[in-house]
Amino acid sequence: MLKKVFCMLIIINLIIMNISIVYADDENETTEKSNMIEVTNQTKDEPILNSRIAVAYDRKSGKVIWGKNENKKSAMASTTKIMTSIILLENGDLTQTVTISAKAAGTGGSRLGLKKDDKITMKDLLYGLMLKSGNDAAVAIAEIVGGSVEGFAELMNAKAKELGLENTHYVTPHGLDDPEHYTTAYELAKLADYALKNETFAKVVNTQNYTVTINGYPKEISNTNELLGYLNGVNGVKTGFTNNAGRCLVTSVNRDGFEIITVVLQADTKDIRTKDSIKLIEYVYENYELVNIKDIIDEKFKNWVLINKDRIQVNKCKYNNMELYLTDLDNDVVPIKKSEKDNINIDINSLYYFEAPVEEGTIIGSLKVDLNENTIDVVEIKNAYTVEKKDIWDYFSLFAFELLH
């Protein structure tokens, strides 16, 4: 009998633990800062991460600096709330005071602590969403802005489509597990980059502590992002956890104008997600720098024009007023490994013979920028002015000139 009771207690305990794990989004878990500091000293070598999915994304160029399964679809947990915030900021009114529904108040997982009929502003719901990771706040926002959770999800998916997030799909505003709720680390980084361009969003996710007001009473909340206020340059963005997503962390960092976003998904513990994020961040800043390739290209092109301009012949033209220019680069500044800066190669190809007229904007050639045989960018070489063809009067004038001389 005692054995049966003991077994039942174990089963009940396991069920309770499983339920708490499923819903314990962003629960606190110790991360030893001494261990975190050790990580910052291991930045020279290629990072070895325990998280199953990760990416480091350069905000200026929109390029992936480093990736691990960055295009693999995954559950995203509360990093979902980045999109929830965007939809609120672009469609809602932060000054509006709202009444919390029974459905919002009854939402499980991490919570702001809202109860049915509570009064709170949309601004405080936003802070409760992003700092406290309140699932109850997420549902409340969805109901007010989208009319329902389903209606709000439609807005989220429409925005994802607008932003070109082809491997992202939303079902809920909070991110609790659903097979049709997914993204990739790369697209999550792109989304965070977009969101951070909103000044209000950037301010919220860079806030460590805040006081919300519920029914006229103040309540102190703190940000769940363990790197905010700890690691140099970190200024956001969002934590997350569910069974399918594992421990997640989206981090934005700015050091001397070099802005990156890192994403780690499917880490087994909070300690792992923290250390992996630090490894990735420190690796990027230790080994990469922003290089102005436009300056390098302009100098190379200027020298090429000096040598080659007179070699470009235009048959039957009135006069050769060919002036050459380069079209715009995709990115003037790109992150390049410090040890590989000398491996940048610029290859210029051009046509050297044309028949007049040559219209303004005609493509004369191309300039390609390679790094270790990987193409960084290709731009076109065009002529700035129309080169006109000789007419009968030009030939007559030339004939007359020759007769007179």
Measured on CA atoms in the order 77, 82, 83, 85, is the torsion positive or negative? Answer: positive
Q: Residue 233 half-sphere exposure, CB side, CA atoms within 13 Å? A: 17
Q: How far is it, in rounded angstroms, from Cα 395 to Cα 393?
A: 5
- 294-317 tens-digit pLDDT: 999 999 999 999 998 888 888 888
> Is pLDDT above 60 for 36?
no
The one catalytic residue among 51, 61, 74, 78: 78
> Which is it for the CA torsion 167, 171, 174, 175, positive or negative?
negative
- Maximum distance among all Cα pairs of the chain, rounded to whole angstroms: 128
Phi, psi of 360 (to 5 degrees): -55, 135
| Torsion angle defined by CA atoms of residues 25, 28, 30 and 33, in that order, rounded to the nearest 10 degrees | 100
CATH tag, 312-392? 2.60.410.10
Q: What is the mean pLDDT of residues 274-295?
A: 96
- Please pick, among 51, 61, 133, 277, the residue that the annotation labels catalytic: 133
How far is 340 from 186, CA to CA, in rounded Å?
24
Q: Band of the pLDDT at 18, cuts 50, 70, 90? A: very low
Nearest to 247 by CA among 15, 21, 81, 19: 21
- pLDDT bin (cut points 50, 70, 90) of residue 374 is confident
pLDDT at position 321 is 77
Structure tokens at 43: 């930045």
Read off the pLDDT of residues 311-331 as tens digits, 9 standing for 90 and up: 888 888 877 778 899 999 999
Domain locations in the chain as residue ranges: 31-289, 312-392
Contacts of 124 (CB under 8 A, 6+ apart): 212, 213, 214
Q: Which residue has the higher pLDDT, 154 or 374?
A: 154
One DSSP character per residue, 20-65 reads HHHH-TT------HHHHHHHTT--SSPP--SSSEEEEEETTT--EE
Residues 6+ apart with CB under 8 A from 394: 318
**pLDDT tens digits, residue range 56-87?**
999 999 999 999 999 999 999 999 999 999 99
> In 3D, which of 218, 217, 163 has the Cα closest to residue 186?
163
Q: What mean pLDDT comes out for the span 161-183?
A: 97
Given this model, what pLDDT does residue 242 score?
95
d(CA 282, CA 277): 9
**Contact predicate 140/112, CB 8 Å:** no
As separate numbers, helices (DSSP H) first and strands (DSSP E) second, the chain gives 12, 17
- Please give the mean pLDDT across all residues of the chain: 88
Q: Which of 68, 81, 238, 294 is catalytic?
A: 81
Tokens representing 36 are 């975190």
Could you confirm whether 350 is annotated as catalytic? Answer: no
d(CA 56, CA 80): 19
| Catalytic residue flag (residue 81) | yes
- The CATH fold assigned to 31-289 is Beta-lactamase (3.40.710)
Examine the residue annotation and report whether 133 is marked as an active-site residue of this protein: yes
Rounded Cα distance, 190 and 375, in Å:
22
pLDDT tens column, 123-145: 999 999 999 999 999 999 999 99
Q: Please report where in the chains the tokens 């549902």 appear, as a residue.
A: 139
